[in-house]
Amino acid sequence: MSVRLAWLGGRWAILLQFGALLAVGVVSVAPRVSSWVGSWKQALDFGAGATSLMGPVAAGAACLAYARLRRSVMSEVMMQSRWDWWRWLQPAVAVWALASTALIAVVVGCTSIASAAGVPSYWGSAWIVLPALVLLAAQASVGAAVGFASGRAWLAPIVVAGVFSVNLLASAQLIPQVFNTGGVTGTLAGQVFTVWPVLMPAVAAAGIVVLAVAAADRRLLWATWSRRCVVGLGLGALVVGWLSAPGSNDERYELLADPPQTCAGTQPQVCVFEETPRPLADLTAKVEEQAVFLVRAGVQLPDRFVQSYAVAGRDPSEGVVRLIGHEESRASVSEDSATNTLVTPAPCEQDFGAEPPYLAMDARHLLGRWLQVRAGIRKPAGGDSDRAWLLGEQDRQEAWVREVYRQLQTCAFEEIQMPDGVG
């Protein structure tokens, strides 16, 4: 056994710790696999966010190792070393290395699964793993400090719970997002990680490492002025990192002005973010199938339907792709997503205003139901308020469809009139 792994236990104990770290990492990402599988960046973010469970386990492992070290009195011999602080830190470094290896394995696993699912890679974003690794170091060092200061191995479960509860405080936004390294529920398509809000928690975490070591054993970092300066720097890093850390998770990401798209189909053409291409083929097929009925009714469809988060800068002649829930990540989409896309033939400011465009929403809803009835996807039920209209005269329906589609296409929501007896 390598001397670098001393105090972590025997070979099997080390394997057990690594297995536990890997297992909690998998537990933290696996339940949401259907969410992140369609986006490499989200897979990366989710993997990096596994620190929320892996960090507490690393802290517990460090607590156990340092409780042993304290009881062994070997630290007295370490203090005789030229590199006393490094020798003392070695077990924590070993725990951190185990945890980091497990975290990287989880991240590589997540991103590999996403790549295997056909989404493009964005290695330029991989740097967000570094702050996660620094946070793991901070969490392990807290466990080391508690273990060494107390010499009590039974505190390990309490350390695990304590470190985890700090994550909960951050999730509840009661403290800054110092311990948040990822786990976003959106696809991050068309978004990039912002540098400082992601790095600042790492600065705070580095400060925690220094202060934890200083608190664990006064001899380590209080012995000389140069070492006291390191403690001062650590304190400064914690304060600066804490105060500069993002207040909410949303600050970690920002929208790209014009995210690249990938397109398919011709009648009409359908485009989704290049980063989340999985639903494109199925969405295009379903849009084309449903679009036929609008064309037969005499509707002039936009040439393209394009995915977007914002109205600004959008071509008003292009429709808007609207996917339901996590369908951005899935290879198959619902008929409703295709319908919602077709009934949004233009990007309109009103859709993003303070007051929801209720009339336009009602019109899109009825138009979508009409389309799905025509396409044979649904049948009007007995109690539906629009049943009579949907089963009524076809010419009148198509006249309303043409008119309302033109109004939706020109964002003339105020001109919309619902059919008599509906709405």
Nearer to another protein, 9 or 423 (CB): 9
In angstroms, the CA 290 to CA 337 distance is 11
Question: Which position has the token pair 């959008």?
Answer: 314
Least separation in angstroms between CB 139 and another protein: 23
Least separation in angstroms between CB 97 and another protein: 16
Q: Which stretch binds another protein (CB under 8 A): 44-52, 72-80, 122-130, 293-301?
A: 72-80
Nearer to another protein, 227 or 402 (CB): 227
Structure tokens at 182: 């990822």
Question: Which position has the token pair 């980091």?
Answer: 100
Distance of CA 25 to the CA centre of its chain: 15
Distances (CA, A) of 105 to 27, 86, 101, 108, 294: 13, 26, 6, 5, 49
229 lies in the site for another protein, by CB under 8 A: no
Structure tokens at 198: 């992601």
76 lies in the site for another protein, by CB under 8 A: yes
CB 409 within 8 A of CB 346: yes
Distance of CA 46 to the CA centre of its chain: 5
Q: Is the dihedral of CA 186, 190, 191, 192 positive or negative?
A: positive
184-223 footprint of another protein as x/- string (CB under 8 A): -----------------------------------x---x
The CA R_g of the chain, rounded to the nearest whole Å, is 28
300 lies in the site for another protein, by CB under 8 A: no
Main-chain phi, psi angles of 272, to 5 degrees: -125, 170
Nearest CA-CA partner of 64 in 165, 148, 166: 148
Nearer to another protein, 217 or 318 (CB): 217
Nearest CA-CA partner of 65 in 87, 86, 90: 90
Nearer to another protein, 156 or 363 (CB): 156
In angstroms, the CA 275 to CA 262 distance is 9
83 lies in the site for another protein, by CB under 8 A: yes
Q: Which stretch binds another protein (CB under 8 A): 5-13, 246-254, 303-311, 369-377?
A: 5-13
* Greatest C-alpha distance within the chain: 95
User: Applying CB under 8 A, which of residues 32, 41, 68, 330 lies at the interface with another protein?
Assistant: 68
Beta strand 269-273 pairing with 304-306? parallel
73 lies in the site for another protein, by CB under 8 A: yes
User: Applying CB under 8 A, which of residues 19, 27, 34, 81 lies at the interface with another protein?
Assistant: 81
74 lies in the site for another protein, by CB under 8 A: yes
Nearer to another protein, 84 or 251 (CB): 84
225 lies in the site for another protein, by CB under 8 A: no
DSSP state of 270: E
Span between the terminal Cα atoms of the chain, in Å:
75
User: Applying CB under 8 A, which of residues 23, 33, 79, 311 lies at the interface with another protein?
Assistant: 79
1 lies in the site for another protein, by CB under 8 A: yes
CB 111 within 8 A of CB 40: yes
Count of residues that interact with another protein, criterion CB under 8 A: 23
Least separation in angstroms between CB 94 and another protein: 12
257 lies in the site for another protein, by CB under 8 A: no
358-397 footprint of another protein as x/- string (CB under 8 A): ----------------------------------------
User: Applying CB under 8 A, which of residues 7, 18, 122, 370 lies at the interface with another protein?
Assistant: 7
In angstroms, the CA 101 to CA 93 distance is 12
Q: Which of residues 85-104 bind another protein (CB under 8 A)?
A: 87
Nearer to another protein, 1 or 256 (CB): 1
- How much of the chain is in helix, strand and coil states, percent to nearest 5? 65, 5, 30
User: Applying CB under 8 A, which of residues 20, 33, 71, 335 lies at the interface with another protein?
Assistant: 71
Q: Contact positions toward another protein, by CB under 8 A? A: 1, 3, 6-7, 9-10, 13, 68, 71-74, 76-83, 87, 219, 223
